[in-house]
Structure formats: structure tokens, C-alpha cells
Structure 1
Amino acid sequence: MFDAMSPALLIIDMQNDFVASGAPIRCPGATDICGSIDELRRTARTAGIPVIFTQERHRAEMVDFGLELEYGEPLHCLEGTAGPDFYPALTPEAGEFVVPKRRYSAFFATDLEILLKGLGVDTLILTGVATDVCVRATAQDAQQLNYRVFVVPECVAGTTEARNEAALDNIAYVFGSILPAREACTLLSSTSANPRLSKADRGAPGATRSAA
């Protein structure tokens, strides 16, 4: 099943305004998935597989929300506040990439695809929040751009549990596959190291890369 894949692990929007207690758009269960995501991240790093964080950010002037706020979303991830910061239990490490974004999909008006092409990636393992918003939007765009998509159910959380389950069902119907965490670890550990990553990046302390 996993032959000849060149995967990357995508960690979507694990930020204070979606994960922390009292957050404006807190996803129930988001704190509980940090450990499972980190386990996948450690497996990917050891195997030499790219790890990419996305980070939603909005200007303090609120000029880049578009129509989002018209449909009931509260203000979130404003630059100059702690909201866009990564949740402390799961922050990027040396050699991992950070892709800032303004909208739901990690592909929309970002350079994620440029990064993936540069790394020779053809398969995405999706984790993070919210399953029914940014994870689903990213899965749809990825599939339309001819990337294989896997979503790890133990590593995602939705805005509600019902929406989480509905989004997973929708993704499995047409946009990708639901891959249990154990199988995701197998995929990562059995895949050849990405030749475009430096061995020095694996597990070493230091600055993260920004794809901005």
C-alpha cells in the first residue's frame, strides 16, 4: 500500500486560539491529540520525512478575514496577540517547516505547494484542527492537486465531536483515506528518507524553517 510514496507530515493549526483552554474557537479534544501528533512527528523526524506546520495568522487591522466573521466565527489568531502562537505542547523544532496562512486551506494563497514540489512530496498525512474546517479544506485542495491524502483520526479534532465525525466521513468518501495512527507510523517508518532534507536537521536543536 505504501510503496513508492514520498510523504510529508502536515500539522494543521495547533495554535493557542484553537487548542488552549478558553480559546475563542477551541476544538474539544485538541489538547488530547498533542501526544499522538508528537509521536508521529518523532517517527517522521527519525525516518527523515518532512514535517510541516501550518499557522493561521490575521493582521491586527482584520482586513484579511474576508467573509469568515460574517458566519459567526469570533476574532482569532490576530497578529500581536498570543492567539496565533503554537500551543506550547506542540511547537516546531529544528528542520521543520512553518507555512503561514490566512484562510482555511493550507494551499490557498500560500507557498505550500511550492514547498511540497521542492521536497518531491506526493503524499500528505494530515493532523491537527479543525477536522471540519481547515483539515477538510486542506484535504480537498490536496486531492484536487493530485496529492495522496491520509487523515489520522487519533490526531485530529473538530469544532464539535459530531462535526469531527462528519468531516472524517466526508473526507473518506472522496478526498482521501482515514489512516489509523499505528498504520501512519508504519507508513512513515517504512518510507525512504527524503533525500532533500539534511541529516543534520533530524532531532537537532535550532531554528525552524519558514516557508513564508
Structure 2
Amino acid sequence: MINCFDFPGADVLEPKAAHAACAILRIKQAMTGAGYPVIYVNDNFGEWHSEKSRLVDHALAQPNRAAELIAPGDEDFFVIKPQFSGFYATNLPVLLPKLGVSRLVLTGIATDICVLFTAADAHMRDYALWIPKDAVAAENDDRGQFALDTMRETMGAETQASDALSLDAWMARLDRGDDTRDGA
């Protein structure tokens, strides 16, 4: 989500990302309010010498509603990824166990690429997943929906929107061992 939207198709994706950012902000506030860690996993955009502040400053220098809404705070973790999955060639596989994490709420762009690949890697590592459909965005709505369906049906991910399922309700459902995912 920390992105300059300077690529082909960005004109289609950016407004969708801004809409998703509103839901992401609500989820982030619930996470921090409950004392859970918030981890940004962000592309390096081919800037191999980059780090958090450079990426964030560069994104915020552009007119970018999504980055403005959900820019990382000092208390948030920030992982830079070189490819589609947040797990591939990053410190995320080491960080999550150190933080005691067993459940992941995945949000961001693009649903059918980075979110999908990260979800697949998380699923292979036995993380419980919630990918709120209102907190992700894709250039193509059909591909985005296909990715959500795939994550729900093959990875056991919850995909209910954040206004239909709260963080507390999702966590309680997992604690009870309920598998009542809603495909809506």
C-alpha cells in the first residue's frame, strides 16, 4: 500500500487502494488497540539500497490517499520484500514466530498477486488467515474475486469484509475452533 502508483494500470488501482485503505485503517486501529503487532510488508520497487523511510517518503511525496491514510508509525514493523510474497527472501518467517504470531490478517494490493502469493506462503506455514475483501484491491475485479475465492476455498482463509466481521469476532471464532467462513 506504500506505493507511488506510477505503473501501467495504476490509474485503475489507485482509487480502489484508497478505498481499501479506509478498511485497513480500521483494522490497524483494532490491532494496535488489542496490542497486536502491525507489520507492513512492502515492495522495494527495484530500489535495492532502499529502506523504510525512503520508500514511505517517496510514496507520500506523490498525491497518494492510501499512503496518507495508513502510513506506518514508529511502533509498526516494516519488512521490505523483493518479490510478490511477503515471505520470499525476507525476515518475515523469523519475525512472526519471535512475535508469537499464529494468525494473520492480510490486506493490501494487489489481491491477485502479492496478497495471493503471501497468503499461499502463510498457509503453507499453518497460519490462520483473514483477508478482508474490503481491505484488498486489484486492478481487475474478476481476478481479484478469483484470488479471494482461491484463498478462501484452498487456503481456508476468511474473506468477510471488515464491516461484517470484527477482529475480536474472528479471533474468538478461531479460539472456539469454529470453521464458519462466509464466502460472501
TM-score, structure 1 normalization: 0.66
Opposite residue 45 of structure 1, the aligned amino acid is T
Opposite residue 31 of structure 1, the aligned amino acid is A
Q: Which residue of 2 aligns with 1:204?
A: none
Does the CA contact (< 8 Å) of 2:85 and 2:117 recur in 1?
yes
5 Å-filtered alignment, 1:66-105, equals 82=58, 87-105=67-85
Q: Cα offset for 1:183?
A: 1.6
Opposite residue 31 of structure 2, the aligned amino acid is A
Task: Write the distance in 1 (CA, Å) between the matches of 2:149 and 2:170.
Answer: 24
Opposite residue 184 of structure 1, the aligned amino acid is S
5 Å-filtered alignment, 1:121-160, equals 121-160=101-140
Does the CA contact (< 8 Å) of 1:16 and 1:23 recur in 2?
no
Task: Write the distance in 1 (CA, Å) between the matches of 2:122 and 2:89.
Answer: 14
Does the CA contact (< 8 Å) of 1:132 and 1:164 recur in 2?
yes
Q: Which residue of 2 aligns with 1:173?
A: 153
Q: Cα offset for 1:189?
A: 7.9
Structure with more of its chain in helix, by fraction: 2
Q: Which residue of 1 aligns with 2:51?
A: none
Please give the root-mean-square deviation of Cα atoms over the aligned residues, in Å.
2.9
SS of the counterpart of 2:165?
helix
Cα distance change, pair 177–82 in 1 and its aligned pair in 2 (3 A): same
Q: Cα offset for 1:186?
A: 2.6
Structure 2 residue 156 is the aligned partner of structure 1 residue 186: no
Q: Which runs of 5+ in 2 are unaligned?
A: 49-53, 174-184
Structure with more of its chain in strand, by fraction: 1
Higher RCO structure (Cα 8 Å, ≥6 apart): 1
Q: Cα offset for 1:60?
A: 4.6
Displacement over 3 Å in runs of 4+: 22-25, 58-61, 83-86, 187-191
Q: Which residue of 2 aligns with 1:73?
A: none
Instruction: Tell me whether 26-35 or 103-112 shows the greater mean CA deviation.
Output: 26-35
Task: Write the distance in 2 (CA, Å) between the matches of 1:184 and 1:29.
Answer: 21
Q: Cα offset for 1:94?
A: 2.8
Q: Cα offset for 1:83?
A: 5.2
Opposite residue 178 of structure 1, the aligned amino acid is T
TM-score, structure 2 normalization: 0.76
